[in-house]
Amino acid sequence: MIGYERHDQAQRSWAMAVQTYRTALVAYRRLVEARAQRTTVNGSPLTLTRAPQEPRSASPERLEVLTPREREVACLLARGYTNQQIANELVLTRGTVANHVAHILEKLGVGNRTQVAARVLGRTEDLTS
């Protein structure tokens, strides 16, 4: 029964994470659209275009800028773990995990945990579409 309860809890956690992601994505899109409507160049609104993407290589090469511990944290982050869950799994303090996450974001040049997860999982599609 314990295995089933863990599975059920994991499903609920993923469902909550997906809902949180969708809510954040809707809010982000609204913000970008509002800013685009306010911003003008030569009297006409700016249009949002997708920047050309550089070809991405395999996941280990993209993550080689991270330390081994940062890679561990990034992998758990990609699985949807919270900072507290990562801390528990790796026997670290939540503050240490927060520092690792900040370093990961900076080193990978991304702005949020979802983008880190995409890098770890090797996703190449645009996450905002």
- Map out the domains of the chain as residue ranges: 2-45, 59-121
> What's the CA gap between 81 and 85, in Å, rounded?
6
> What's the CA gap between 40 and 55, in Å, rounded?
31
Q: What percent of the chain has pLDDT over 90?
A: 39
Structure confidence at residue 37 as a pLDDT band (50, 70, 90): low
Q: pLDDT (tens digit, 9 = 90+) per residue, 8-24?
A: 888 888 888 888 888 87
Among 45-49, 67-71, 104-108, 109-113, name the one with the lowest average pLDDT.
45-49
Please say whether the structural domain 59-121 has been given the CATH code 1.20.1630.10.
no
- 49-71 mean pLDDT: 65
- Kindly report whether the global pTM for this prediction surpasses the value 0.75: no
> What's the CA gap between 53 and 128, in Å, rounded?
14
Q: pLDDT (tens digit, 9 = 90+) per residue, 80-126?
A: 999 999 999 999 999 999 999 999 999 999 999 999 988 888 854 44
pLDDT of residue 13: 85
